[in-house]
Amino acid sequence: MEASNGPQRSPAGLFLGGYPISRGLDFFNDSSIMPTMQFIRDIYAAKQASNRPVISFEFFPPKTEEGDRNLLEKTIPALKQLQPDFCSVTYGAGGSTREKTLMIVDRIQRTHGITGMAHLTCVGSTQEQIGEVLDQARALGIRNILALRGDPPGGTGKFKKTEGGFEFSYQLVQFIRQKGGFSIGTAGFPEGHIACQEGKLVDWERLKAKIDCGADFVLTQLFFDNADFFVFREYMAKKLGVTVSITPGILPILSAAQVKRFTEMCGARMPAPLLARLEPLRDHDEAATEFGIEYATKQCEELLREGVPGLHIYTLNKARSAAQLLKNLRLA
């Protein structure tokens, strides 16, 4: 990735750092002054003091201009009405969306006044290039980063360290902390990371190391059995002495085929009763979506009763399920 001295225009659209960006993401025409965004660690502290859960939504960078318009003109404005505490934007496999991720986070903050967080991975980048991304983020007023090792290009296969880059996410956390000026989140895995051959306890100890290196809060991978989360949380807090916020990641199911694909990729377990309910809905996405809202509602009700600091909702760039979920929980 080449360093950029600023935005460049061409007939094809907007460029940042040499990469073309859809005109739907052109934030430079917005002359509004963006207020200073909060650090997410401070959001958690304030909500804890008021005994209210932190509500956050996650989006991914679309691959088409139509997807850009749907996300920016429909999904985000609809979910803004629910007054989320922050929104995050993922970083494509192999670092394939780095500029677009920053552009969407900037749009969320500048246009909608919502605190944003950019995901950042170790994949396909040297330390110098990662430093450039952080400098771009800082220049845009982005103050929150989710530090991840990341998926290889294509989303499959083994992770390979880039020469001059980082091999482990704790190194990325350290690097961001040394740069200063960011609140740093990291990922937790209630069932253990799929790539950790040594077992989930080793994976959880590695998470503790990331926190010790400077991570302020933890967002978990999706899961469907709350018992897995509770065991994970207890081990982190009581065995390892972790005190930062650990927020469950919630995925309202949209279709049986889609959730099966997701869980196979990330290693999340689907309980037998859930599988049994989904089986007759294989060819009925509308019914699967309704069931997904119902299941997520019950899951979140229990999590909130048990004192989780917030809910991080994987929206899949759709507003309906996330909105109905929060209404069911009387959080909207």
| CATH (domain of 137) | 3.20.20.220
As a whole number, mean pLDDT of residues 74-98 equals: 87
Tell me: pLDDT of 12 over 50.
Answer: no
Examine the pLDDT at 17 and tell me if it is beyond 90.
Answer: no
Domain-embedded: residue 331: no
Indicate whether 263 belongs to any domain: no
Q: How far apart are CA 149 and CA 65, in angstroms?
A: 28
Q: Report the pLDDT value the prediction gives residue 156, as an integer from 0 to 100.
A: 56
The residue segments making up the domain with residue 218 are: 38-252+308-317
Tokens describing residue 105? 């986070």
- What is the pLDDT, as a whole number, of residue 35? 73
pLDDT band (50, 70, 90) for residue 36: confident
Instruction: Examine the pLDDT at 290 and tell me if it is beyond 90.
Output: yes
| CB contact burial 228-244 (16+ within 10 A = b; e otherwise) | bbbebbebbeeeeebeb
| Dist CA 18 CA 2 (whole Å) | 7
Residues 6+ apart with CB under 8 A from 298: none
- Least confident span in 4-18, 43-57, 238-252, 314-328: 4-18
15, part of any domain: no
pLDDT of 19 > 80? The answer is: no
Mean pLDDT computed over 266-291: 95
Q: What does the pLDDT read at residue 24?
A: 44
pLDDT tens figures, 134-182? 999 999 999 999 999 887 665 556 777 888 889 889 999 999 999 999 9
Q: Is residue 104 part of a domain?
A: yes
pLDDT band at 91 (very low <50, low <70, confident <90, very high): confident
Q: Would 51 be classed as within a structural domain?
A: yes
> Directed axis angle between helix 127-139 and helix 169-179, to 10°?
50
Question: Model pTM?
Answer: 0.89
Residue 271 lies in a domain: no
Provide the number of structural domains found in the chain. Answer: 1
Q: Give domain status of residue 294, yes or no.
A: no
Known catalytic residues are 58
Residue 2 lies in a domain: no
